[in-house]
Amino acid sequence: MTISLGYQIPNFSYPGGVETLFDTVLAQAREAESSGFDTVLVMDHFYQLPGLGTPDQPMMEAYSTLAALAASTSGIQLSALVTGNTYRNPTLLAKTVSTLDVISHGRAILGIGAGWFELEHEQLGFDFDTFTERFEKLDEALQIIHPMLRDERPEFVGTWYRAHGAMNVPRFRESIPIMLGGQGERKTFRLAARYADHMNIICAIEDLPHKVEVLRQRAEEIDRDPATLRTSYLASVGLVETQAEADAILAKIPEDRRNRAFVGTADVIAERIQESILGAGVDGVVVNAPLNGHVPGVVSALGEALAPLVR
């Protein structure tokens, strides 16, 4: 199964503090599971991101959180959107996501990207390297991870990584889906065409039809059926009850970003997502709700409005 409707949890600054933090995360995941979402995703970051908060705000480690959600849910898929390749050795990452798949009885997806948040790297001691080097690392990592998730024992010696008959047991399934995240037409899309089952496209909304077409071309260049590489788009939404509330929120958003802000009632959000995302040829959508996703009932309302769009 691939991602048709995902719910991403992007922040952990909730009323009640750390004592009820995971309870609030779990409540959102369970609402998503019961209202039509097929996947719950978290960010793989250690600091909160610009635009969502300050670096010192709460940020849960991704795979510990996903493992806890796996043990507390029953049917929904689980993934990071997306794992920063620079934070983990590829053999360790293959082992981690395979363990998540065992815990969840076959519900893990490996979301992965090159990494980009320089502050985390500087302060936590991860090598940041150049843009080109980060993509070289991602390419090498996928040459190890892809076979390890498919019951193969890779032999690989590269500039950055090596593996010598790396074993990966136990595994729950013969293969675990791989999702790449990004928008780079020359690097990311070519890696997705070669290694991925799913591509989460990150770009300006007006560029989305072009990105979908280029991704198809990258698949065709290696004689892959583009239909086998599924796509999704991440959208931030603000669920409100009235248009006046929506207008007040939109007025605070820079004009050049307003067409990417999906703010309104559940029906209005669904209508805009259908038109500008699914209408652009994307197979699915992932939404987050940083303003009020933690409020009981918000995730359910979003799921009930959006699920009919992707069935």
Q: How far is CA 226 from the centre of its chain?
A: 20
List per-residue pLDDT tens for the chain, 311 residues long: 689 999 999 999 999 999 999 999 999 999 999 999 999 999 999 999 998 999 999 999 999 999 999 999 999 999 999 999 999 999 999 999 999 999 999 999 999 999 999 999 999 999 999 999 999 999 999 999 999 999 999 999 999 999 999 999 999 999 999 999 999 999 999 999 999 999 999 999 999 999 999 999 999 999 999 999 999 999 999 999 888 888 888 887 777 777 778 999 999 999 999 999 999 999 999 999 999 999 999 999 999 999 999 98
| Beta carbons within 8 Å of 143's beta carbon, 6+ residues apart | 154, 156, 158
Please list the helix, strand and coil fractions of the chain in percent, rounded to the nearest 5, in that order: 45, 20, 40
pTM strictly above 0.75: yes
Cβ(149)–Cβ(174) below 8 Å: no
* Length of the chain as a residue count: 311
Q: Which residues pair with 5 in a beta bridge?
A: 285
* 235 dihedral zone (left: phi>0; alpha: psi -120 to 50; beta): beta
Reported as type and span, the H/E element at residue 185 is: none
- Bridge partners for 231 per DSSP: 199
Give the span between the Cα atoms of 284 and 311, in whole angstroms.
10
Instruction: Scan for tokens 């082992």, then name that residue.
Output: 95
What 3-state class would DSSP assign to 103?
A: helix
For residue 170, is the peptide bond before it cis, meaning its omega torsion is within 30 degrees of 0? yes
Cα angle value 157/98/24 (rounded, 5°) = 130
User: What region does 233 belong to: left with phi over 0, alpha with psi -120 to 50, or beta?
Assistant: beta
Token look-up 């909160």 returns 48
The DSSP letter of residue 85 is: G
What is the DSSP track for 200-262? EE-S-GGGHHHHHHHHHHHHHHTT--GGGSEEEEEEEEEE-SSHHHHHHHHTTS-GGGGGGEE
Q: What are the pLDDT digits (tens) for 31-54?
A: 999 999 999 999 999 999 998 999
**For the chain, which domains are there?**
5-310 (3.20.20.30)
DSSP string, 34-84: HHT--EEEE---SSPPTTT--TTS----HHHHHHHHHTT-SS-EEEES-EE
Which value, to the nearest 10 degrees, does the dihedral of the CA atoms of residues 44, 256, 119, 18 take? -50
